[in-house]
Amino acid sequence: MTATEPKPAVQGSEAQGTRTLTLIQAVTEALREELARDERVVVFGQDVGARGGVFLATAGLQAEFGERRVFDTPLSEASIVGAAVGMAVRGLRPVAEVQFADYMGPGFDQIVSQAAKIRYRSGGQFTAPLVIRTPSGGGVKGGHHHSQSPEAYYAHTPGLKVVMPSTPYDAKGLLKAAIRGHDPVIYFEPKRLYRAAKGEVPAHDYTVELGRGAVRREGRDLTLIGYGGVMPDVEKAAAALSKEGVEAEVIDLRSLVPWDRDLVLTSVEKTGRAVLVSEAPRTANFMGEVAYVIQEELFDALLAPVSQVAGFDTPYPYVQDKVYLPGANRIAAACVKVLNY
């Protein structure tokens, strides 16, 4: 048996409307469609087979595609991630699941030394187009081994692409684009939105380009920028501000590497104010890079210093779960401070 070239994707003309899906259903659907489209795609990780993953992201896929395409692995992040590198080098399109982003530690060297570097160090002779899916972020009473947001580690590594959706539409479109792309992608799934985020998802095939942000709400007074699990609170804060007559423009970055600088800069140039929101610890937070670029490019256009709302520089706490996260009130307060500067 040999893997064949992928079938052409179903085009928009064959669209059958949209359905309402949860974010995790959108992930499952993306995996199912890519498994069906391209025989080189394999899905694996700890408990992803019969069990369907601890969050059931891969539920039903092994029954549908068999143990050859969807399979369980030993409990070893180094070997899950490392094997994905070898499979990708040999011509497959591996989609590996690491059960929690907090557990990526043992696979870290495989990600940063192997997956991220092999194209570069071999002069393009070998490449590793793989996807590592992993639930990340807090809000589920998981303590610090099930709630961390380690995206900055990976965004800091040249050679990796880093993605975090916040809507079912993006979750499906970004995952499909990641699987079809030619670079290693770390695909963070905000676990508290798995079932909380519901939305319209087209029935036809589509992708969301990596590196493009999305404007969730238009506004003139300030720009609110976030990604992943904080987005519902960002939008809640914007709605509350609107009742006070303040119109915030809301941007969802969707991709951290590469990130949509044009979208961000165009918006902040228009509004003159920026508040950056993420739940990762504040020091060396990815949003620090966004803030840096804004001040470098738009210093004269800024009406107030760029503000950041982030997690605290503590290990993620268990009991204080909700206090740790930057909720709508904290976000709105930061906006008010910026507006009153």
Partner 1 sequence: MIQPFTPDPLSWVADDGQPIRELPARFTPEVLRGLHRDMVRAREFDRKLVTLLRQGRTTFYAQSRGMEATQVGLARSIRVGHDWVWPYYRDHALGLTMGVPLLDLVSQCLGTNSDPCRGRQMPHHFGAGRQNFVSISSSIASQVPPAAGNAMAQKYLGVDEITVCTFGDGATSEGDWHAGVNMAAVNGAPCLFVCENNQWAISTPLRGQMASETVHVKARAYGMPGYLVDGNDIVAVMEVLAHVVEELRRGSGPALVECLTYRVGSHSNADADAEKNYRTREEVALWTARDPITRVEGLLEHLGHPVSAEERAGLIAATHREVDEAVGQAEASGQPDWRIMFEDVYADLPVHLREQAAFLRAEQTGGRA
The residues that are catalytic are 146
Residue carrying structure tokens 């916040």: 166
Point out which span in 154-162, 227-235, 317-325, 330-338 binds partner 1 (CB under 8 A).
Answer: 154-162
180 binds partner 1 (CB under 8 A): no
Query: Of the candidates 43, 55, 102, 119, which one interacts with partner 1 according to CB under 8 A?
Result: 119
Q: Are 108 and 75 contacting, i.e. CB atoms less than 8 angstroms apart?
A: no
Query: Of the candidates 125, 296, 300, 340, which one interacts with partner 1 according to CB under 8 A?
Result: 125
Determine the size of the site formed for partner 1 (CB under 8 A).
50
Point out which span in 46-54, 73-81, 239-247, 269-277 binds partner 1 (CB under 8 A).
Answer: 73-81
Amino acid at 8: P
Residue carrying structure tokens 């519902």: 232
Q: Which 312-341 residues touch partner 1, going by CB under 8 A? A: none
Query: Of the candidates 16, 182, 300, 340, which one interacts with partner 1 according to CB under 8 A?
Result: 182
Q: Which two tokens stand for residue 123?
A: 């002069």
Contacts by 312-320 with C-beta closer than 8 Å and gap 24+?
Answer: 312/281, 312/282, 313/281, 313/282, 313/283, 314/281, 315/144, 316/138, 316/142, 316/143, 316/144, 316/147, 316/148, 317/143, 317/144, 318/141, 318/142, 318/143, 318/144
Q: Which residues of 262-278 are buried (b: 16+ CB within 10 A; e: fewer)?
A: ebbbbbbeebbbbbbbb
Point out which span in 7-15, 83-91, 189-197, 223-231 binds partner 1 (CB under 8 A).
Answer: 83-91
Alpha helices in the chain (DSSP H): 23-37, 61-65, 77-89, 108-109, 118-121, 151-155, 168-180, 231-243, 261-271, 286-298, 321-324, 328-339
Query: Of the candidates 9, 78, 140, 304, which one interacts with partner 1 according to CB under 8 A?
Result: 78
Q: Which 185-224 residues touch partner 1, going by CB under 8 A? A: 211
Please report how close the Cβ of residue 28 comes to partner 1 at its closest, in angstroms.
Answer: 22
Query: Of the candidates 66, 158, 305, 315, which one interacts with partner 1 according to CB under 8 A?
Result: 158
Q: Are 245 and 296 contacting, i.e. CB atoms less than 8 angstroms apart?
A: no
Point out which span in 12-20, 84-92, 239-247, 275-283 binds partner 1 (CB under 8 A).
Answer: 84-92
Query: Of the candidates 122, 314, 320, 329, which one interacts with partner 1 according to CB under 8 A?
Result: 122
Contact track, partner 1, 228-267, x by CB under 8 A: -----------------------------xx--xx-----
* Residue whose C-alpha is closest to residue 49's, from 68, 36, 30, 22: 68
126 binds partner 1 (CB under 8 A): yes
Point out which span in 17-25, 106-114, 131-139, 217-225 binds partner 1 (CB under 8 A).
Answer: 106-114
85 binds partner 1 (CB under 8 A): yes
Torsion of CA 241, 242, 248, 253, to 10 degrees: 90
CA–CA separation, 96 and 118 (whole Å)? 18
Query: Of the candidates 8, 13, 17, 74, which one interacts with partner 1 according to CB under 8 A?
Result: 74
Report the DSSP pairing between strands 248-252 and 214-217. Answer: antiparallel
* Residue whose C-alpha is closest to residue 85's, from 52, 126, 54, 46: 126
Query: Of the candidates 43, 84, 179, 275, which one interacts with partner 1 according to CB under 8 A?
Result: 84
For the beta carbon of residue 24, count every other beta carbon within 10 angstroms: 23
Q: Which 86-105 residues touch partner 1, going by CB under 8 A? A: 86-92, 94
Cβ distance to partner 1 smaller for residue 68 or 243: 68
Q: Which residues bind partner 1 (CB under 8 A)?
A: 1-3, 42, 68, 73-74, 76, 78-79, 81-92, 94, 106, 109-110, 113-114, 117-127, 158-159, 161, 181-183, 211, 257-258, 261-262
